[in-house]
Structure 1
């Protein structure tokens, strides 16, 4: 099966986005860990691995098509953050950027009648709905519970619980 140069570029660009997201979440996990947010650290370590798995899905898809996947270098992520709430807002923004990129690829696939890539991307469309909802829900907790030390401790516990939820990598 052949894919267009435009789709190949979009898929390789997505590989880079996922790799950068993984490193960003790793940096967030590290900051949380040294700041004393053990639950949040566990949550972001899981998120980092999830994004790495997403990157690998794109690499394998390209390779399965006989197209050489471009393994990206990554940007050095921020390593110092203002607060746990700032991290969650940044993570939500990152997920919104990924969602936009996925939707762009879906539009390319539809326009080019690339049914295989369209089918491949469907999982990511659904995954992004879940990802955005996850971070929006955590952000709501700051409004509901508060931003004092006790509230942040509770949010850290919530994030720890969320880190224990198994990740669906789509692998069978």
Structure 2
């Protein structure tokens, strides 16, 4: 299959974003574990695995269509955070960045009439709707339940229950 250099670059750039997201979530999980937020740690370990799986989907797709995936070095993620809420906000910001990048690749595929890449990306478009909604919903918990120690404990338990659903 013939893939344009523009599409190949965009897909390889997405591999970088997914790898960085996986490492960011891994750092968040580690921070949560050290802070005693076991539920949140499990949730973010699952998120890290999920982002690595997304990265692999892009790698396999590029290789399958003859585009040759490039495995990137990753940037060092933040390792210290102010609070559990700040981590959720950072995660939402990350998902919004990924969504924007996915939409950009969709636009490239549409412009180039690259139907296979466009179809491949459909799953990611839907996934990003779910990901953003997930983090927005978690942030709502801070407004609904509160930010005192008992509320944070409850949010940690909620996150733990979400870990197995990722």
What TM-score range do you get, normalising by the shorter chain? over 0.9
1:2 paired with 2:6, answer no
Q: Determine the structure 1 residue equivalent to 2:31.
A: 31
- Once the two structures are TM-superposed, the CA of residue 66 in structure 1 deviates from its matched residue by 1.5
- Once the two structures are TM-superposed, the CA of residue 95 in structure 1 deviates from its matched residue by 0.1
Q: Determine the structure 1 residue equivalent to 2:78.
A: 78
- Once the two structures are TM-superposed, the CA of residue 125 in structure 1 deviates from its matched residue by 0.1
Q: Determine the structure 2 residue equivalent to 1:150.
A: 150
Q: Is the 8 A contact 2:18 2:52 kept in 1?
A: yes
* CA distance in structure 2 between the aligned counterparts of 1:67 and 1:134, rounded to whole angstroms: 32
Q: Is the 8 A contact 2:3 2:66 kept in 1?
A: no
Q: Is the 8 A contact 2:109 2:117 kept in 1?
A: yes
- Once the two structures are TM-superposed, the CA of residue 164 in structure 1 deviates from its matched residue by 1.4
**Cα deviations across residues 3-30 of structure 1 (Å, max 9, x unaligned)?**
1111000000000000000000000000
* CA distance in structure 2 between the aligned counterparts of 1:111 and 1:75, rounded to whole angstroms: 31
TM-score by length of 1: 0.96
Please show how residues 10-49 of structure 1 align to structure 2 within 5 Å: 10-49=10-49
TM-score by length of 2: 0.99
1:117 paired with 2:134, answer no
Instruction: Compute the RMSD of aligned alpha carbons.
Output: 0.5
Structure 2: 5+ residue runs without aligned partners?
A: none
* CA distance in structure 1 between the aligned counterparts of 2:4 and 2:96, rounded to whole angstroms: 25
Please show how residues 93-132 of structure 1 align to structure 2 within 5 Å: 93-132=93-132
The structure 1 segments of at least 4 consecutive aligned residues displaced by more than 2 Å after TM superposition are none
* CA distance in structure 1 between the aligned counterparts of 2:14 and 2:145, rounded to whole angstroms: 36
1:51 paired with 2:66, answer no
1:161 paired with 2:158, answer no
Q: Determine the structure 2 residue equivalent to 1:170.
A: none
